[in-house]
Amino acid sequence: MELKPGGQLRSALSTTEVVVVKGSGADVDLRCGGLPMIGKDESASEGTIDEAFAGESLLGKRYVDDDTDTELLCTKPGDGALSIDGRVLGLKGAKPLPSSD
């Protein structure tokens, strides 16, 4: 799937929803809980979350993948860790503030 900024996706199993903040335009395999993410208006499928991706997605957190230069914003939390091409996405860290001498 090609990720474009502004794209809205959701998990096929849980309540997780994300918005693409930054996408490389490359074709990637974006998953939540081990199952492919679907469009926001597509119907959900049946199944179970893969044990290897059994984490959770947290509301308001940004998830990044440095290999594909992708950034996602979680707009609705849920079960299942986000992953791209089999790599679990990490949380984006806060930028350090400048010192106030």
DSSP for 52-89, please give it: GG--EE-TT-EEEETTTTEEEEEEE-EES-EEETTEEP
Looking at residue 99, what is its pLDDT? 84
pTM of structure: 0.87
DSSP code for 99: P
How high is the pLDDT of residue 101?
Answer: 66
Phi first, then psi: give them for residue 24, nearest 5 degrees: -80, -15
E strand or H helix that includes residue 24:
none
pLDDT at residue 45, rounded to an integer = 75
Delimit the domains of the chain by residue range: 8-89
Q: What is the mean pLDDT of each run of 10 residues along the chain (101 residues)?
A: 92 93 88 92 82 92 94 96 94 87 66
Contact 31, 57 (CB under 8 A): no
